[in-house]
Structure 1
Amino acid sequence: MEKQQLIVHAGSHKTGSSAIQRYLFDNWQRMDGVAYLNRGKPNASPWMLQAFKHDIAELPAFRSRQLDAADSADMRKRARSVLAEQAGQSSAPLSILSAEAIGAFNLPELQALRDFVSPFFSQITLHQYFRPIKARMESAFQEKLKHGATTLEDKFPLAYCHTLDLQDSVFGKENVHAYKYDSACFPQRDVVAHFLDKLGLKAAQGSVSTPVNAGLSLPAIQLLYAYRKFNPVLARGDRALVRKLTELRGEPLRFNSALYQKLVVLTQEEIERFKERAGFSLAEETDADDDIGIRDEEDLLAIPQRSIEWLHEQLGPRLAVGKTDLQAVASMVSLLAEQQNRRG
């Protein structure tokens, strides 16, 4: 049997991966000559971590399971068995595997992935989007805050060059494709349309790409940051709380250039080397948002009155707290989390 082509979409994080995955998961069976490799979920990251990540037991998502070496080996065997079954059964000319976790694989893990899928596919290409540096930092801060306590002291080591170096060495430079995550460059400003176009695919008839994982506004992030000061560990109801906070509108989170310079761990030499390899620059005008950008924790905790009013509207007079000090605000956000959790 003639072997087919495999497209590995490796993210990266916060570059529309969820939208691409959801679209492919929902529509691949209506797309001619395409198979979407999945384990019942749009995002294959947990599956790929189980199959190839060497330190699976130490990852936050798996740590609570207290896996020993035998458990990890059994998990790896089962995950790889499903991948082999799907790859072996597919007769489509083009198969797609989408897992942003692959974008963070180290050299042995990338090699293990390549060696495992190579018998099934005549060609393997890897596709990855990269977000401009400052925007990536702002997005990463928000994501960390959603999943637990974080501070404005945490550095952001962005190993963009190292990532491409590893992928080039494993798959071959000609098979690794890097794209700038910039909606202004996408057809209809849609990353899904851009991804399909790069693969030479047409959208499934009647399908529509929809946004996934909407970000939080600055007012919402401020409330969540205040809540995390007193509730640093992810708790039951926090996911529902984040969903509710997406309803609080306002300006986006932006870092002041001074804060950006304090937190970024990336040299100008690395920025230039990435530009030479990828064919586009990730540099930005870092002071473009200085008039609205936060400079420190004091700015982040300067919660506007309209956010307090929004909390009162959600909680009602019976639960709303009259005081507006930081702990009182955190208490109201905690009540909102409990309320949303009860509502399911």
Structure 2
Amino acid sequence: MKRIILHVGTHKTGSSTIQETLFRQRHRLTEAGLHYLSIGANHWDLYSAFMDEPWEWFENRRRGLDRAQVDARNRHTLDVVRAEIENTPCPWVMISAEHLSMLPSHAIEALRDWLAPLGEVQVVYFVRQIESWIASDSQQCAKVGIRARPTPYTVAIQRLFDFPVAWLEAFGKRRVSLVRFEDALQTGLTDTLLALAGLPGLAALGMEEMRFNESISAEAVECFYCLNRIAPVGKTGRNEHLVGLLMSMPGSKYRAAALSQAEVEDHNRKMNRLRARYHLDLYPALHYRGEDDGRAPFSEDALYYLVNTLNDTMNRLEALESQVSERVGP
């Protein structure tokens, strides 16, 4: 029977790095006995196949698919994945999609039951210290244009507590590995995942880890929040040249705002519940630090970059207008 590693993320725990590294070098993995699904680096189409109302998912709407087309695509995805798992000679198969972490309990159970005849499943869920996760997710959502303010605590605690518990309940603790992102960084994100399959690390396989989703500065994040309010993604008036300039904006490292006392207490309560129920000691208790988190104001270097860039852009526009006027004449 096949052994299936089901890597479900979560978001902002190095998933893109792992996925791109394994997908782009998957032929070497095959030689080592691991089959990485060929349906893309990120196997998020499986999320569409098991989520509620997949025709409402932003990715399917972005593709312009109607309900019938989404249903047909989902059926095709399941057929392809089933065939790959059944037909590969490799003893190990890896599925990776951080969107899977967000499935509700009944959908996780449906995925579990669908995979059961195909192999023995081991779920791998990467967790991350909550303040660090909020900072990383905030800047990611800012730069892709889906939020105009920082990620709230209520979203973050789901990734650290609610979502992992749903997977633990569906599969049982023996079949779910919760991996601390901070530990995986020390041993290598991809190497950590390969080790769970009993495979050698990337160096031994003649492979290298590829880094993706690099962070942007705190000043860039704040500018993106403004841009996302003024010209949201998908709306007219959003200048992609400006987006590119903001991505390169210098400045300090983005930090999340301090958690409130109620949020700190809620976090500590839930970490204690993980210890008591599942004997999982993920993160120590947080301490309330007050409302002043000491974040640095907008840096002088960032302001200089922004003003200088806008000045150069205006000069180019004026030069272009002058050239057009000379050609057209009075």
In the other structure, the counterpart of 1:166 is 166
Deviates more, 1:53-62 or 1:17-26: 53-62
Distance 2:239 2:183 in 1: 30
- In structure 1, what is the Cα distance between the partners aligned to 2:270 and 2:56? 30
Give the distance between the partners of 1:88 and 1:184, measured in 2 at CA: 30
For 2:227 and 2:73, locate their aligned partners in 1 and report how far apart those are by CA, in whole Å: 36
The separation in 2 between residues aligned to 1:206 and 1:169, in whole angstroms, is 38
Residue 249 of structure 1 corresponds to 250
What secondary structure, in the 3-state scheme, does the structure 2 residue paired with 1:38 have?
coil
Question: Aligned residue for 1:193?
Answer: 191
Please say if residues 28 and 36 of structure 1, whose CA atoms lie closer than 8 Å, have aligned partners that are also in contact. Answer: yes
1:305 Cα deviation from its structure 2 partner: 3.6
Mapping for residues 37-186 of structure 1, pairs under 5 Å? 37-39=37-39, 41-45=40-44, 47-63=45-61, 65=64, 67-68=66-67, 70-121=68-119, 123-146=120-143, 147-152=145-150, 154-157=152-155, 158-159=157-158, 160-182=160-182, 186=186
CA contact (8 A) 2:8 2:125 kept: yes
The amino acid of 2:126's aligned partner reads: Y
SS in structure 1 at match of 2:126: strand
Contact in 2 for aligned 1:15/1:181 (Cα 8 Å): yes
Partner of 1:119, secondary structure, is coil
Q: Partner amino acid for 1:98?
A: S
Cα RMSD (Å): 3.0
Structure 2 residue runs of 5 or longer lacking an equivalent are 317-330
Counting aligned pairs with the same residue, the percent is 22
Matching residue's letter, 1:128: Y
Residue aligning to 1:18: 16
Structure 1 CA distance, aligned partners of 2:178 and 2:184? 17
Question: 1:219–1:307: 8 Å Cα contact kept in structure 2?
Answer: yes
Aligned residue pairs: how many?
305
- Name 2:26's counterpart in structure 1: 28
Partner of 1:309: 304
CA distance in structure 1 between the aligned counterparts of 2:205 and 2:227, rounded to whole angstroms: 45
> Is the CA contact (8 Å cut-off) linking 2:220 and 2:249 kept in structure 1?
yes
Alpha-carbon contact 2:250-2:301 (below 8 Å) kept: no
Q: Which runs of 5+ in 1 are unaligned?
A: 295-301, 322-344
Q: CA deviation at 1:4?
A: 1.0
CA distance in 2, matches of 1:269, 1:252: 29
TM-score by length of 1: 0.77
In structure 1, give the amino acid aligned to 2:133: R
Q: In 1, Cα distance between the equivalents of 2:110 and 2:86?
A: 17
Select 1:281's aligned residue among 283, 294, 308.
283
1:206 aligns with 2:201: no
Query: Residues of 1 paired with 2:89 and 2:240: CA distance?
Result: 39
Partner of 2:295: 293
Partner SS state of residue 182, structure 1: helix
Report if the CA contact (8 A) 1:21-1:98 is conserved. yes
- How has the CA–CA distance of structure 1 residues 51 and 149 changed in structure 2, closer, same or farther, with 3 Å as cutoff? closer
Cα shift at 1:154:
4.7
Structure-2-length-normalised TM-score: 0.80
Alignment check: 8 A CA contact 1:156 1:265 kept: no
Instruction: Tell me how far apart the structure 2 counterparts of residues 254 and 211 of structure 1 sit (CA, whole Å).
Output: 21
